[in-house]
Amino acid sequence: MLRYIFRRLGISVLVLFGAATLVFVLTINSGDPLADLRETSADNRDELIEARIRTMGLDKPWYERYAEWLRGAVGCVVPGMQCDLGVTNQGQDVLALTESAMSATLRLVIGATVLAIIVGVAVGILSAVRKYSGFDYVITFGAFIFFSLPVFWAAVLLKEYGAIRFNDWIADPRMSVTQMIIIALITGLVLQFALGGDPRRRLLTAGAAFAVVLAALAYFDADNWFRDPSMGLGVVILVSAGAGVLVTSLVTGFSERRVLYAALTTVGAGAVITFALQDVLEDGGYALLAGLFVLTVAVSVAIGAAWGGHMRRQAMLVAWVTGVIMSVVVVMDYAVSHWSAMLELKPRPVLTIGALSPNFEGDFWERFLDTGTQLLLPTVLLTLISVASYSRYTRSSMLEVMEQDYIRTARAKGVSERAVITKHAFRNALIPLTTIVAFDFASLISGAVVTEQVFGWRGMGQMFINGLRAVDPMPVMSFVLVTGAAAVLMNLAADIMYGYLDPRIRR
């Protein structure tokens, strides 16, 4: 396996070197880097031209400039060498620009990838299990629409309805009875499509969902919940316990009580920790949240190991997932409790341009909400693009696996349908999907160019576009280096996942 990994790394490095060389040559020959200075009427035009020539090294042969960049780029990965990605035509350090731009872009890409995987895989599995049903046709139709959406057009729609009109509505968030009924009806129809069953079960599902959603919306509207929301520890415990029960049902079913007890014990321990640290959590801080997340994972795994018995591995997995979900719900609880305070500081919460609100002052949770609202729309856009392909690939892979002989054998032996889908079919269906995820992560970084331009994010895409417009190869090469390295690392991760999902590949 190690020989295989090193061989793949060597080939990837050669491909990356060839791509970087080609991009450098194309960039420096795409125009005149001195064009803007030649057209200026400034008195010191000649001095400015000479300064830019020295800054960009235009008096040197192209291969010498490329060798200097390559030497500095290699220093970023080889210990003992200096990491130097050069300077822009304005003399700015490209390494510092790349670090700032990469931070902004990764916030978009990581969030969009995680959401797309969760939603796309879940929808793909449901679509495969209920193939050729009304739900399957609706999902297929929606996937094709999302897959073919022009990014810039979808971004404009999101800005119109998700930012401008939402900001108008949140100033006085009232809902008419007609709007409540329509939303409740749509929710009921979607749920009965997703859950399926005979006509009686569908009617009960739609009716129950309609009643619950209508009652919730009426309460939210009467209590002004949309401007002053709250959850509380009780809701956190209830949601987390429900998530633990759901995860248990998917992983082992309820026949193994130890696994269920591990999940519920994790929720109880999380509730105790949250109550004990409520004053500390009120102050917030990213370092604090990261430390508490690590603590949550450690406690959850320990609880799973203690309860597990002969099902220790499954109990640890269920407890870990339950703990992670509860930590997310706790963060949401503290964030939404500061929503009204954030609206006082920023009456129009969702901006159409930029990653942060200029001159915004507030405590940690209010700044957290500000960052989240600006991250929301571009993340949703990238998620919609990816979730369409994930759902289709998952459906196709699941349908292929479900026709295999070992699936029919498992059913003939009396294995429950839940175990057939989650334990036998899903794991094997993930093998081709890992390739898609690996390529999609790298392509999202490069594909975020349009999204960042529309939403005014100062990320890798904007740095790349600015470099091309100025015929400045250093920012462009930095973009190629980051996206190329991401592609190499994600493909390596896919190879390792192959070995985990299919032990035959390890040999």
Residue by residue, what is the 3-state secondary structure of 276-287? HCHHHHHHCCHH
Compute the average pLDDT of residues 338-367: 85
pLDDT of 502: 66
pLDDT of 429: 81
Same domain flag for 255 and 279: yes
Q: 93, exposed or middle or buried, with CB in 10 Å at 0-12, 13-18, 19+?
A: middle
Compute the average pLDDT of residues 114-124: 87
**Taking the model in full, what pTM does it have?**
0.80
Compute the average pLDDT of residues 63-75: 89
Same domain flag for 319 and 261: yes
Give, rounded to a whole angstrom, the gap between the first and last alpha carbons of the chain. Answer: 8
* Residue 265 Cα distances to 261, 306, 368, angstroms: 6, 11, 30
Q: Which residues contact 229 (CB under 8 A, 6 or more apart)?
A: 336, 337, 339, 340
User: Cα–Cα distance between 360 and 29 in angstroms, integer?
Assistant: 43
Q: Which residues contact 206 (CB under 8 A, 6 or more apart)?
A: 188, 189, 191, 192
pLDDT of 480: 86
User: Cα–Cα distance between 199 and 365 in angstroms, integer?
Assistant: 46
Same domain flag for 321 and 256: yes
Q: Is the dihedral of CA 68, 70, 76, 77 positive or negative?
A: negative
Cβ–Cβ under 8 Å, residues 171 and 347:
yes
Same domain flag for 218 and 239: no
Structural domain containing residue 250:
230-336
pLDDT of 499: 67
Same domain flag for 246 and 219: no
Q: At residue 73, does pLDDT exceed 70?
A: yes
Q: At residue 278, does pLDDT exceed 70?
A: yes
Domain termination residue (choose one: 307, 336, 365): 336
Same domain flag for 262 and 312: yes
Domain termination residue (choose one: 294, 315, 336): 336
Same domain flag for 272 and 205: no
Q: Which of 470, 399, 380, 495 minimizes the C-alpha distance to 111?
A: 380
Same domain flag for 197 and 252: no
Question: Does any domain span residue 280?
Answer: yes
Question: Does any domain span residue 210?
Answer: yes
Mean pLDDT of the chain, nearest integer: 85
Question: Does any domain span residue 21?
Answer: no
Question: Does any domain span residue 259?
Answer: yes
The predicted-structure confidence for 422-443, as pLDDT tens digits, reads as follows 777 887 787 777 777 777 776 7
pLDDT of 371: 86
The DSSP annotation for 337-361 comes to TTHHHHHHH-SS---SS-SS-TT--
Binned at pLDDT 50, 70 and 90, residue 189 comes out as confident
Cβ–Cβ under 8 Å, residues 188 and 226:
no
User: Cα–Cα distance between 359 and 349 in angstroms, integer?
Assistant: 14
User: Cα–Cα distance between 417 and 410 in angstroms, integer?
Assistant: 9
Q: At residue 487, does pLDDT exceed 80?
A: no
- Please tell me which residue, 356 or 261, carries the higher pLDDT value: 261
pLDDT of 180: 93
Question: Does any domain span residue 387?
Answer: no
Question: Does any domain span residue 256?
Answer: yes
Compute the average pLDDT of residues 307-331: 90
* Of the listed ranges 349-353, 375-379, 488-492, the one predicted with least confidence: 488-492
Cβ–Cβ under 8 Å, residues 476 and 22:
no
What's the farthest any 2 CA atoms get from each other in the chain? 88
Count other Cβ atoms within 10 Å, centred on residue 370: 21
Same domain flag for 198 and 296: no
- pLDDT > 70 in the chain, percent: 96
pLDDT of 267: 94
Same domain flag for 234 and 328: yes
Helix segments in 309-415, DSSP class H: 312-336, 339-345, 364-402, 405-412
Q: Which of 261, 403, 257, 274 minimizes the C-alpha distance to 319?
A: 261
pLDDT of 1: 63
Q: Which residues contact 45 (CB under 8 A, 6 or more apart)?
A: 37, 38
Compute the average pLDDT of residues 344-359: 82
Domain termination residue (choose one: 336, 362, 393): 336
pLDDT of 382: 84
The predicted-structure confidence for 221-243, as pLDDT tens digits, reads as follows 898 899 989 888 899 999 999 99
Binned at pLDDT 50, 70 and 90, residue 210 comes out as very high
Question: Does any domain span residue 260?
Answer: yes
- Please tell me which residue, 430 or 407, carries the higher pLDDT value: 407
Q: At residue 56, does pLDDT exceed 90?
A: no
Same domain flag for 238 and 283: yes
Question: Does any domain span residue 275?
Answer: yes
| Domains held by the chain: number | 2
pLDDT of 500: 67
Binned at pLDDT 50, 70 and 90, residue 503 comes out as low
